[in-house]
Amino acid sequence: MTNTLNSSDYVLELEHLVKDFDGKRAVDDISFKLKRGDILGLLGPNGAGKTTTLRMLLNIIAPDSGIIKILGETFSEKTKNRIGFLPEERGLYRKMKVMDTLSFFGELKGMKSAEIRTRGLELLKKFDLERYKDRKVEELSKGMAQKLQFITTIIHSPELLILDEPFSGLDPVNIELVKDIILEMKRHGITIIFSTHLMDYAEKIVDTMVMINNGKVVLDGTLSQVKSEFGSNFLKIKYEGDATFITSYDYIKNIQDYGNEMEFELTNLEYKDTLLKDLINRLSIHAFQVTEPSLNSIFIRKVREGNPAQGEL
């Protein structure tokens, strides 16, 4: 990604952002751009600086230095109504009814009541919340409230969606739902940036990604660029049995063992046939596949590189 700030193709342009809290650098020289209509995943472990970066984009906190252009300009009241923001700290008024909540947020974004009602009901239906429209927020389950908050973020049909951990607190069915809505919004030309540490979901939907660790960008680019940077000697196996012996092979590295599934890298793909024969003798093998590295493996590797105390790979 290049960092020249002058193109209208970009909905977001960040250049050399820095933010310190009490002398500790939370965001350390972060630069990236987001093209109109793309989905960008801002990935990183806990405390990496994702929320701080998103909050700076939205002018909630000011950077100590750096340049931010959002929708082609510096953040203003006008830009605000063109953006939908889902904060990490969800905040709805517990005593307010669902429909009134949508009116409250819709009006904040300059919508008329009729428009709020039509779009609100349409979204409540989509999120399977229509029957709760006259109930108070406190009567909703955590996941339902999370879905309602998501609706408040998109009710005004923003051009740019900024979602801080949109999947947190949702069950797998609702994660799918939010993922589908994100993809549907992309099909309507909406640009989306979201933060997450759920790599499996990020992998399915991002066009580009920026991975940060300790406030610094450690990887960026399209998914295929990032993956090709990590090589093509990866294997995935599905197995039953005790596979701990695999750590003793010196041509295997970067092992991620999930108990009945394992991903690892071979120093040379030539070893794969010998390895397969060996594994079949010692384990019950259900799948053995040469694959590209998963975003999860890349993420774990990058994070561990930056924090050696978190363990050897």
50 forms part of the interface with ligand ATP (CB under 6 A)? yes
String of b and e for 229-244 (b: at least 16 CB within 10 Å)?
ebeebbbbbebeeebe
Q: Choose which of 14, 17, 49, 279 interacts with ligand ATP (CB under 6 A).
A: 49
Q: Choose which of 12, 48, 181, 206 interacts with ligand ATP (CB under 6 A).
A: 48
Q: Choose which of 17, 39, 51, 155 interacts with ligand ATP (CB under 6 A).
A: 51
User: Token digits for 123?
Assistant: 């979204």
As beta bridge partners, residue 293 has none
Segment lying near ligand ATP (by CB under 6 A), choices 47-55, 129-137, 178-186, 264-272: 47-55
The 3-state DSSP class for residue 34 equals strand
Of 22 and 77, the one with the shorter C-beta distance to ligand ATP is: 22
Of 42 and 237, the one with the shorter C-beta distance to ligand ATP is: 42
103 forms part of the interface with ligand ATP (CB under 6 A)? no
Segment lying near ligand ATP (by CB under 6 A), choices 46-54, 101-109, 235-243, 282-290: 46-54
Find, among 35, 27, 29, the residue nearest to 15 by Cα.
Answer: 29
Segment lying near ligand ATP (by CB under 6 A), choices 2-10, 45-53, 64-72, 151-159: 45-53
**Element containing residue 30 per DSSP (H, E):** strand 24-35
Which residue has 């992998």 as its token pair? 203
Dihedrals phi, psi of 222, to nearest 5 degrees = -75, 165
- Count of residues engaged in binding ligand ATP, rule: CB under 6 A: 13
Find, among 91, 90, 118, 88, the residue nearest to 103 by Cα.
Answer: 118
46 forms part of the interface with ligand ATP (CB under 6 A)? yes
- Minimum CB–partner distance for residue 166 and ligand ATP (Å): 13
Within the chain, strands assigned E span 10-21, 24-35, 39-43, 65-70, 83-86, 160-164, 191-196, 208-213, 216-222, 234-240, 252-257, 261-266, 284-291
Q: Which amino acid is at 221?
A: G
Query: CA 160 to CA 82: how far, in whole Å?
Result: 7
**Residues from 147 through 206 that contact ligand ATP (CB under 6 A):** 197
Of 128 and 305, the one with the shorter C-beta distance to ligand ATP is: 305
From residue 5 to residue 24, what is the string marking binding to ligand ATP with x (rule CB under 6 A)? ----------------xx--
Give the interface with ligand ATP as residue ranges (CB under 6 A).
Answer: 21-22, 26, 44, 46-52, 88, 197
